[in-house]
Amino acid sequence: MKIKHKKRVAPVQILAAGFAFVIFIGTLLLRLPIAAISGEFTPWVDCVFTATSAVCVTGLTTLNTAEHWTYFGKTVIILLIQIGGLGFMSFTTLFALLLGKKITLKDRLIMQEAMNFFSLQGLVKLAKYILIFTLSVEGAGALFLSTRFVPEYGFGKGIYFSIFHSISAFCNAGFDLTGNSLVPYAQSTVVIITISALIIIGGLGFAVWAEIYGLKDIRRLSLHSKVVISMSLALVFGGWLFMLLFEMKNPATIGSMNMEGKIINSFFAAVTPRTAGFNAISLPDMTMAGTFLTMILMFIGGSPGSTAGGIKTSTIGLILMALVSIIRNREETVIFQRRISRDLINKAIAVMFVGLGVVMLTTFILCITEPKATFEYISFEAFSAFGTVGLTLGLTPELSFIGKIVVALTMYMGRVGPLTLILAISSKKKGGSIRYPEGKILVG
């Protein structure tokens, strides 16, 4: 008798398929006439692009969110952002708990992959914490934003705007309802600081916040949290300083502002490329140095297990410390008096080079499909799409049909790809019966 074996579906495959399924449902909903202000069907490619951008918490849009979509369409978009930011497994777990269903081992394994958690222990508790923490932070953010939006738009519209932008900021999405991002509020300290805080909190990682919440002694902080926090602080404050220096005398961005405006807006310009996608100054008018710095920050992104994209802060931190060890001629990489395994360093390097490969490939294809665009605009678009940022120099609405598909795929790979790579490399190693002799190659 022939025994048929069931083909096992890897958790990473379920995650990738889950994101694709949510995008598919979002596309169908946005395609409905009631989703568009015109009352007509929105072109399929724009629906796919918008749904992908929302689920992948990117923020790139081919259509003006404020002017094209009805409140139904806008609500669909913000729900897709919330699901994409937290991960569909968190929502699946929530519904399962509400219905009184048992969380199986398979569900826990998928949750572990989705949250980048070290073990299966405490996963359900962490999922509950994530949902409560998210709603609390987004609610607080909406409350602060309402102090500006309610007097300007009225109670109903002001509350909706506050909730929408709070969710969009916390999930590092960058969708806005103003039609021009946060440029109209460049001088509003409340809006800029609140959005900045939401972006930083959402991009730090749920596991880090959970650890901080239950921490009694700062010295007992885990190595992961130490690396994430230190790298995040270095990128935020370092980016803030350089952005201020690069744009201080640029009258098209912050040059004409008073010192308070310069400080606040340069800070925001350093925070938002961490995969958020909002902008309070004119991006096309930035200096070349400011534009390049923005691309670097977009590529690095936020932290693992957060709502942010990019190659992640811990990845770049490991690579930098490995480089320091090589320069100092040390055999081992040590961070905060802890030795880092060679496998972990190799994974970090692999993630970085795969990310660069995706950006380079996207840039190359867009150079062919968008011949009228400059290389600066195209490369900026590629970095933004892969890092799931949402910033653009103005190329997104002008993309061709193929260009929209390419950027949508890049956003999807940016949201799922690096995670897929990590999980694939983290799988059980296959033992080899043959070990080849060591070879030597000149390097450098």
What pLDDT is stored for residue 135 in this prediction?
87
Tell me what pLDDT residue 17 has.
Answer: 74
DSSP lists the bridge partners of residue 340 as: 333
Higher pLDDT, 217 or 387: 387
Name the phi and psi angles at 334, rounded to 5: -120, 130
Measure the CA–CA gap between 173 and 406, rounded to whole angstroms: 19
Q: What percent of the chain has pLDDT over 90?
A: 51
Render pLDDT for 187-220 as a digit per residue (tens, 0 to 9): 899 999 999 999 999 888 777 887 787 776 667 7
Of 118-122, 150-154, 195-199, 258-262, the poorest mean pLDDT is in 118-122
Q: Is the pLDDT of residue 3 over 50?
A: no
pLDDT higher than threshold 50 for residue 361: yes
H helices present in 6-43, as ranges:
11-31
Task: Give me the pLDDT at residue 335, please.
Answer: 87
63-104 pLDDT tens trace: 999 999 999 999 999 999 988 877 655 555 555 555 555 655
Helix-helix angle 375-386:342-369, to 10 degrees: 140
Question: Beta 333-335 vs 338-340: how paired, if at all?
Answer: antiparallel
Q: Specify the pTM.
A: 0.86
pLDDT(1) > 50: no
Q: Which residue has the tokens 């799931």?
A: 388
Q: What is the pLDDT of residue 320?
A: 92
